[in-house]
Amino acid sequence: MTQYILALDQGTTSSRAIVFDRQGNILALAQKEFQQIFPQSGWVEHDADEIWAAQIGVANEALARIGIAASDIAAIGITNQRETTIVWDRNTGRPIHNAIVWQDRRTAGLADALKAAGHEPLFQHKTGLVIDAYFSGTKLKWLLDHVPGARAKADRGELAFGTVDSWLIWKLTNGALHITDVTNACRTLLYNLHTHDWDDELLTLLDIPRSLLPDVHRSSEVYGHTAAGLLGAQIPIAGIAGDQQAATFGQAALQSGMVKNTYGTGCFMLLNTGEKPIPSQHKLLTTVAWKVNDRTNYALEGSVFVAGAVVQWLRDGLGIIKRSEEVEALANSVPDNDGVYFVPAFVGLGAPYWDSYARGTIVGLSRGSTAAHIARAALESIAYQTADVIDAMRQDSQLSLPELRVDGGASRNDLLMQFQADILGVPVVRPKVTETTALGAAYLAGLAVGYWQDEAEILQLWQMDKRFEPCISPDRREMLRHAWRQAVSQARQPSQGITP
């Protein structure tokens, strides 16, 4: 009887492998960072071969750490950095260029041209996305247009495109499978949420041959098996989901109206909207949450560009803390922000503003303001930005919010989590296992092979670490949020006449 699930968590800066047991506990974790490549300003690349080497390396390492064989693994689940784009030669299996990472902005001009031509309503209706360099479609077009010989090879059907999940599965199966799942397909600007297929009209607009594209599958099914000799046994590959969707599944936010927020460098919020895609009127993204059996769940997604990064700036930019962990004690040394508000719009503002011209702003300073007040305002800014996105989600979905489930590094900060509950007016709940991205991939794989029976069993496995209840009055909450909105308006109106 196989006893474990192996999750491959391929992230933006590292590849990780985690072994889980039936209770969702972590038995082994191995991690390896890989090179970040910056060919010029605004460009970000990865070496796809290095990603593969790191990923297969940590998979073997995780098994070795607890002395188990590949034959003890019931299934593999894969979760990945989304939107990062790889094109490889079907015959040689070699990438034709470095992977273009989701953070890369080289196709911003192409995105602007598509918007100027009036195509944004079409893309938004069909894909649920805004036109932006963030997504895979424009990156794929760039590769075909700029790598010598690529377009001719693509026209002959000799090339394959994939996000990182597709690349890993190609390598794990020695080229037998060229697939993706719905959560990754729907982040390409090429996948139609309504027909559940690649969209020929959008492919034509971006000049992308359909022959490049992987087959789209559910997020939980047995797709195939690892190649013989790779890990020591042929293991079923049975789960795929992009990182934020996987984290939502790992949080057991399986019912309509449940929301999770991942606090990392930025914040990613997903609201489960059930079996119907809800178009956003407030600049959120409509996305597939997962497809299990024959049921597709959808989500609204909102991103905060600067969350944990504001704490890094306090450390590296201002120097008021030496380690990021010190920020909670410094902020706790004062009872409140004393009227100081910090809008960390270092790279503009994300949802629901999407204002690339906003700039970082601190307002309300007085002679009595201290480093502690600035630290507190910085932490509070993360909660305020989260509340702005959740307001938009509430308005788009007309769903009530019973609680906010949280994960990611900053979710360990009790001061921030309590303030988040206060400013939202709903409980904030932190789970015992915060490796929710890998756990979600494990759950999806385990469901496909009967390791876990159904979603009801997964709901029972979720365990709470701590619950933060709101403890300020509605009047106080509204007063604080009004002051925050005023600060945001200042950040969105940089002083006239000052040029960078």
Enumerate the known binding-site residues: 12-14, 16, 82-83, 134, 243-244, 265, 308, 312, 409, 413
Q: Are 469 and 420 in contact (CB under 8 A)?
A: no
CA distances from 183 to 142, 216, 248, 360, 378 (A): 23, 9, 12, 33, 33
- In the numeric block, which tokens belong to residue 436? 């929710």
How remote is the C-alpha of 140 from its chain's centroid? 20
Mapping DSSP onto H, E and C, the string for 423-468 reads: HHCCCEEEECCCCHHHHHHHHHHHHHCCCCCCHHHHHHHCCEEEEE
Residue positions in the annotated binding site for ATP?
Answer: 12-14, 265, 308, 312, 409
Residue positions in the annotated binding site for glycerol?
Answer: 82-83, 134, 243-244
DSSP letter at 314 equals I
Q: Rounded to whole angstroms, how far apart are CA atoms 363 and 98?
A: 43
The residue type found at 112 is: D
Q: Are 190 and 215 in contact (CB under 8 A)?
A: no
Q: Are 264 and 409 in contact (CB under 8 A)?
A: yes
Question: CA angle at residue 319 from 317 to 324, to 5 degrees?
Answer: 90
CA distances from 372 to 300, 382, 483 (A): 35, 16, 19
Residue positions in the annotated binding site for ADP?
Answer: 12, 16, 265, 308, 409, 413
Residue positions in the annotated binding site for sn-glycerol 3-phosphate?
Answer: 12, 82-83, 134, 243
